Each structure stands twice: as C-alpha cells, then as structure tokens.
Amino acid sequence: MLATDDFIILFLDLLNEVLTSAIVIVAASLLLYNLTKNLDNRVARTSAIVLACVTVAYAADAFIALEPTRNIHIATLRLQWIGIAFLPAALLHLSDALLATTGLPSRGRRKRIIRILYGVSGAFLAMAGLTNILVRPTTPPMPAGLRADAMFPIFMFYYVVATIVAFINVQRAKQRCLTRSTQRRMAYLQFAMLTPVMGLFPFSVLLGPGEEFSFWAMVFVNVANIVVILMLLFLAYPLSFFGSSRPDRVVKLELLKFLLRGPGTALVALVMMTFLTPTSRILGLEGEVFKPFAVVAVILAWQWSIALALPWLERSLIYAGEDVAQLGKLQSLSERLLTRSDLEQLLAAILEATCDYLRVSTAFIAIVNDNGLETISTITPAHSELSVEKLDNTQLETLLNNGNPLNGGHRNFVYWDNFWILPLYTYRTGDNAIERSVIGVMGIEAQNQTLMLNEDEEEMLKNLVHRAEQTLDDILLQEEMYAALEGLLPQFAIDRRTADALEYRPGHTRQIITPPHLPDFNTMRELVRAALRHYWGGPGLSRSRLLELNIVRQTLPEHDNNPARALRAILLEAIERQQPEGERQYTSPEWTIYNILHMRFIERRKVRDVAIRLAVSEPDFYRKQRSAIDAITQTLIDMENQTIHTT
C-alpha cells in the first residue's frame, strides 16, 4: 500500500511539473500574441501585464521542479513574488481599462489609485525579496520553502480587496455594454480574471512542514493548474477582440490557428519529453534514446492533424449557415488567383516549349494596349535584346487582316520583321464564341516567309497558342479584378473599431462627430492612392469616400454636379500645389514629387518610362512615389481643414 501511495504522489508530482510548464507556455504565448497584435490598445497592454505576472510566477515553479540547490531554490521563490506582488495592481489596472472602454474613463482618481497600488506592490516585492518580514525561508532539515511572517496578513488583505474591486469594476463595465455579445465577453472576462488570483496566491506559505507534498495538496495543485490553463485560454478569447480592426470571425480564426500551431505544438512536445523517462523502454530502446524520434514524430503528427481538422473547425466553430458557401468561394478564389509574375513565368514556359519544338531560338508574347504592343515575355539568345513596341495598333490590324490562314483554319498568321506573328484572342467579349477580339500576339522566329508545318507540328502549335491565349486572358482579367479591389477596399468604412463604438455605452465627455469627417492619415492615404490609380475612371474614384469631403461638395456646381469630376479636379489642384516655382525640370529633386504625380497619374505613363525620364531606378521610383502620395494626402487634409474652418 505504501508503494502505491508513493507511486501516486510521484505521478501527481510529475503531472504538476508538466502542468506548470504548460501554464508557462500558454501564458508566454498569449503574452507574445498580445504584444504583436494590439499593443496600441490599452486593454491589450494591461492584459499583457497580467499575463506577464502569470508567466513569471509559473516559470519560477517550472525552474524549481529542476531541483536546484537550496539557496537557488529560496532565491527563485523570492523572485516569484514579482508576479505574485504585482498581480493585484495589474488586475485592477485591467478592470479600469475595461471600464474606460465602455465610455467611463478615469477622471484622475482611479489613475492615482492604480499608481499607488503599483507602488504598494513594489513595496511588498521588496519585503519578499530583501527581508523576512513578509515571508521567511524554512530552516534545515525542513525542505526548502517560504513561510508566512508578520506582514503576510496585510498582503493577503491587500490581495483580496484589490481583487474584489477589480471584480466590481468589470461588473460595472458589463452593465454598461449595449449588446448581448459584448455583455457575454465581459462576463467571460469577469469569470476568467479570478483564475490567476487563485492560481498565483501563495497558499504554500500557509502550510505546515512538508504538507505541500501531501496527497490532497498535490491533487488540489494539479486541479488548480488545469483550471488555470483552461481559464488562460478562456481569457484570451474576449481579450483578442479589444483594439482589433478586423472582423470578429477573422480574429477568432487567427486565435484558433495560433493556439493550435503555437502553444498546442509546444504542449504535445512537452508531454512526450516529460513522460519518456530514461527508465522506460519502447521497442527495445531506452526512453532517452527514443525521445528525439518520438518528439519529432508527435510534432509532425500534430501538424498533420491540424491541417486535416482546421477546415472542419473553421466550419463548425467560426463559420456557419450560408457563410460556408461564401467561405468556399473565397478559398476557391484564393487557390485560383496567381500573381502576374506567376503568369509571366507560365508564358515563358510556353515560349520555351514552342522554341524547343520548332527548333528556333527566339520567340515573344506581347499584349495589345492603347499605345500598341507591350512585350511581356521573351525568349532570346544570350546577350540579345528584342523590342516589338514599334508596331502600333493600326499596323498590327492591317497585318492580321491581310494574313494567311494557318492550314486553312480561322487563325491568320503574318510574316513581319523576321517573325511569324500569330494573334492571341479572347472570347469573353460576347456570348457568341465567334465574337472574339485580339488581346496580344505570339511571335516566333521565322525560318522563311512561309510557315511550313506538318500535321503534328500544326497541332502542337495550336495547343501552345491556346495555352498562351488562356494565360494572357487571365492576366488581363486579374488585372481588372486587382484594379477593382484596389479601388474598393479603401472604401469600406466599417471595421471592428467602428463596431466597438456602437457596442459600448459612450462616455459623458465623448462628442459625436457627424459625417463627413476625415479618416485617419493611413486610411486617407489609401483612399488617395486608389483615387489616383483610377483618376481617369474606376471605383477608386467614382465610389471613393473622398467624395464626402467638403472641398469636393463645394465644387459640385462648377462641375455639373458630377461628384467624380469634382474629385478629379480637387486631386489635380492638390497635385498642382506640389509644383515648385520656375521652369519644369525632370531631374531636379525639388520637382520629383510633382513630376511623379503628374506623369504617373495624369499623363498615365508607365513606371519604367517615368523612372527613365527622372533618371532613377524603379525601386527608388516606388519609394519616391510613396512620398509623393503622402505629400498629396497631407495637402488634401490641409485643404479640407481650411474649408471647415472658413465655413
């Protein structure tokens, strides 16, 4: 019976080590998650302090489990009081931040009290770390530990009172919430905040010699550790919404993926390393020898399980009802979309296959635009250049109309400048497949003026040309989609922060701002960038939130009450304000901003052409273009503010 009791105590002690380390992993992971996501939000910052207290306290317990020397053991227990002493002030600080979120910020009194409490916590930490008046170390032959001393009842009173006040503050915040979802999240926080209080309170200093290693003490500690882990995860859920500008479901999905791939992976590896002891034998191998293989295997299996289960978890926990169909479409769109670089690589592969099959060394694919042909993919011998931009649309149309059918088919080819030119068509222009338009050409090095191919070569060339048509058509279609997205995305005005303003009770001193109003600078810059990209037409201009500006509304009568035309005029005026005095110069630094804005967006020149004209590299051009957009954004803000002040 004694051996069984010893085995149970040993198992409970080992389980305590695992759970303690698990708490450190979870708390530290959530702390890092908070620090990288919403650090500009007060609730996120104060919750990070609470998580830091939990991390420090349980990290000390995890270190003590490694059985250091007695002096190091005592020193670690004293350092553990960094988390214990500051937790009451951190909880009250968090409750104050939650109360301020609901529109009841401190008028100075609560802030002063919190600062005083941080000072009191620092004093208790000094007592625990430097003196024996709060806690005192045990003396040999008793096991290393700390026991309560004269000042401990005062600390316990401070700990309990601060916790009660924090609980009351969260209750007040809950009552001020206006929607059922925010009230539910606040209730989660109110309940979960009690867990660190119970988990970090130093109950062991109140126990007698050796009682912390008794059966019931170990059971209590393990149950408390399990509850702390669950409540930390429970605490992370409502806190992740504060300060986030993303939709709720995006926040949930990010948190789910983080917990599974971060703390989840660390926990399964920890369990495997802890329970594979040197005394165990698996497949005839000692546990210590088998451990590296087992840890790697369980991590791979865990990641594979996440990959399989994540789609089901998304549908079950995050998306529901008709959103499943929308999710499927979005995922399908993400899988189908390729970048322009990807599609250009595919065109290059098509050209390489064509050159290899027809035994030629040069080929190109060019796209048809308003200015003629633009080469987007070429295959040439080393150190040689190819340019077909000199062929304009009229010449191209004449050539193709006078071309010869390819083996009697519907596709004409022409001989031009030592190339066989084959047109590339799109069939998206009409419901009837016969209605087609030329979107580009494929040029193949001509061995003679007549394209002489056998039946197999003819069939292969048709297949390659068809693949080139599909790829080029996809490039044009995706460019249209990206242009539409670039114009539409900045126009969305509702985000998580906007929803927060509607879900919490406004404070007595908060003033309601009536539209139209200026968005923040970053949003304003995106709106300006989209409007400039769509300066001559597109949703970035016609549906822009910039149409709500006073400077635009006031100029409507001058532009036949056409909002898009008025906004275009305002943008042009803002660009003209960037123009320095004197004669225009293209390489002068003073003229850089004006030249970029005018040439790129008003004159609609290509990036390469503008960069060459300004004598700058393309990477340098993009940096200067960002500065130019910042400058015109600030100019528009100044113009709007001046209009508001004069009306």
Same domain, 459 and 585: no
Q: How far apart are CA 272 and CA 3, in angstroms?
A: 25
For residue 309, what are its two tokens?
Answer: 């289960």
Boundary of a domain, candidates 210, 243, 276? 243
Domain count for the chain: 4
Q: How far apart are CA 593 and CA 632, in angstroms?
A: 9
* 153 domain-assigned: yes
Same domain, 201 and 66: yes
Boundary of a domain, candidates 219, 243, 267? 243
Boundary of a domain, candidates 313, 336, 359? 336
Q: How far apart are CA 223 and CA 207, in angstroms?
A: 18
Same domain, 458 and 513: no
Same domain, 611 and 525: yes
Residue 127 β-bridge partners: none
Look at residue 296 in the predicted model and tell me its pLDDT: 86
* 158 domain-assigned: yes
Same domain, 236 and 255: no
Nearest 10 degrees: Cα torsion 416, 422, 423, 427: 180
Of 551, 571, 515, 521, nearest to 640 (Cα)? 551
Positive or negative, the CA dihedral 54, 57, 60, 64 is negative
Of 24, 16, 19, nearest to 51 (Cα)? 24
> Which DSSP string corresponds to 462-527?
HHHHHHHHHHHHHHHHHHHHHHHHHHHGGG----HHHHHHHHBPPPTTPPPPPSS----HHHHHHH
Question: Do 92 and 116 form a contact (C-beta atoms < 8 A)?
Answer: no
Same domain, 329 and 363: no
Which helix (H) or strand (E) segment is 153 a member of?
A: helix 152-176
* 31 domain-assigned: yes
* 494 domain-assigned: no
**Centroid of chain to Cα 237:** 17
Same domain, 472 and 531: no
Q: How far apart are CA 202 and CA 57, in angstroms?
A: 10
For residue 495, what are its two tokens?
Answer: 């985000």
Same domain, 332 and 355: no
* 495 domain-assigned: no
For residue 20, what are its two tokens?
Answer: 């303690």
Return the CATH number at 77: 1.20.1070
Q: Which residue has the tokens 């399990």?
A: 226
**Centroid of chain to Cα 331:** 17
Q: How far apart are CA 176 and CA 100, in angstroms?
A: 10
Start-to-end CA distance of the chain, whole Å, equals 91
Side-chain-side CA neighbours of 4 within 13 Å: the count stands at 1
Same domain, 277 and 310: yes
Q: Which DSSP category does 406 fall into?
A: S
Q: Which residue has the tokens 């303690």?
A: 20
> Which DSSP string corresponds to 125-139?
HHHHHH-SSSEEE--
The size of the chain, in residues, is 647
Of 189, 49, 192, nearest to 121 (Cα)? 49
Same domain, 514 and 632: yes
The torsion angles phi and psi of 396, rounded to 5 degrees, stand at -65, -45
* 276 domain-assigned: yes
Same domain, 307 and 363: no
Q: Which DSSP category does 600 fall into?
A: I
Q: Which residue has the tokens 């930390």?
A: 232
Return the CATH number at 423: 3.30.450.40
Angle at 143 between CA 142 and CA 145, to 5 degrees: 110
Side-chain-side CA neighbours of 75 within 13 Å: the count stands at 6
Q: Give pLDDT < 50 ranges for the chain.
A: 1-2, 383, 408, 430-434, 494, 502, 508-516
Domain range for 603: 502-646
For residue 30, what are its two tokens?
Answer: 């959530």
Look at residue 10 in the predicted model and tell me its pLDDT: 67
For residue 426, what are its two tokens?
Answer: 């799109």
Same domain, 276 and 392: no
Q: How far apart are CA 486 and CA 30, in angstroms?
A: 34
